[in-house]
Amino acid sequence: MVGNSAIKGFAKPKDAKNSKQQSGYVIGLILIASGFTLTGLTFMDPFFGRPPPAWRVNTETGYAEIVASPRELFYHDVPEEEAEYWVSQLTNQSLKALFEGAEYTYAGWKDVPSWYIGTVEDRGLPVLAQRLSVGMARGVGASVEHRELQTSHSPFLSKPELTVELILEAVDAFTRSSSDKSKSAVGTNNAVLVPGARLLSPLTWFRFGLPLAFGRVLGKCVLLFGWGRGLWRSLFRST
């Protein structure tokens, strides 16, 4: 949410060609096993304020408490010793960051092209939810390139080389410095997926097609909701 919101006002304006300033803009976003922030909504608003089974709300401490194994949630494909180290580095998550701050959130992914790196074996943010969110973003008109890795929630630890390869490919796409479209397949043995339904592969209809299509429908609903809310506010203010 922080990255999406923090770029507000830093994207390159549409009339930037006529401006003396041609650098210093945000030109793209790379999201890894993440979500698409919606303007005016907190992290938990899309979930109707209900936490997932993996953690619970502790109003006495003001923190979210993980009730599942942190290693299983985030690092199950990382070597045990390394995973335990990263578990030891986890800190408490404030409930304020999850349930408050709607006035500061911003859908920055609408302003610039985005690359989404999904994680197929994710036990913290299921890949189905990730695919829905990509479809939703596309449904509201965002430009989102979608790739997936066969990893846990932490591909930068379990598959750092592949993660770096995708990041470099994304940066290359943002800067349009190369026409090479084959980087994702170099030496990966199909380790990088480009999600999408294929006509002659029925399994992909259900694996990718349905979640992405349903996400697009959600995106259209988000647009309709935003339009209705704007109309209501304008009518309310006029009275």
Q: State the angle between helix axes of 210-238 and 127-139 in degrees (0 to 180), rounded to the nearest 10.
A: 50
- The model's pLDDT over 14-52, given as tens digits with 9 standing for 90+, comes to 766 666 666 788 999 999 999 899 998 999 988 888 999
CB 135 within 8 A of CB 73: no
**In angstroms, rounded to a whole number, what is the distance separating the alpha carbons of residues 236 and 116?**
38
Task: Name residues whose C-beta falls within 8 Å of residue 139's C-beta, 6 or more positions apart in sequence.
Answer: 215, 216, 217, 218, 219, 220, 222, 223
**pLDDT value of residue 19:** 64
Q: What is the pTM of this model?
A: 0.85
Tokens of 216: 């697009």
Band (pLDDT 50/70/90 cuts) for residue 202 is confident
In this predicted structure, the answer to whether residue 203 has a pLDDT above a threshold of 70 is yes
Helices (H) and strands (E) in the chain, counts: 9, 7
pLDDT for residue 197: 82
State how far the Cα of 223 lies from the Cα of 119, in Å rounded to an integer. Answer: 27
Q: Exposed e or buried b for every residue in 26-53, given b needs 16+ CB within 10 A?
A: bbbbbbbbbbbbbeeebbbebeeeebee
Q: What value does the mean pLDDT take over residues 155-175?
A: 95
Position 22 scores a pLDDT of: 67
CA angle, residues 10, 11, 12, in degrees to nearest 5: 120
Q: How far is CA 28 from the centre of its chain?
A: 13
Buried b (16+ CB within 10 A) or exposed e, 88-100: eeeeeeebeebbe
What pLDDT, in 10s, does the model give residues 101-124? 999 999 999 999 999 999 999 999
CB pairs under 8 A, 24+ apart, for 87-96? 92/61, 92/63, 92/64, 93/55, 93/63, 93/64, 94/62, 94/63, 94/64, 95/57, 95/58, 95/59, 95/62, 95/63, 95/64, 96/62
Residue 182: per-residue pLDDT: 44
3-state secondary structure of 42: coil
Contact present, 162 and 188 (Cβ < 8 Å) = yes
* 160 phi and psi angles, rounded to 5 deg: -60, -35
Distance CA 186, CA 172 (A): 15
Token digits of residue 162: 């592949």
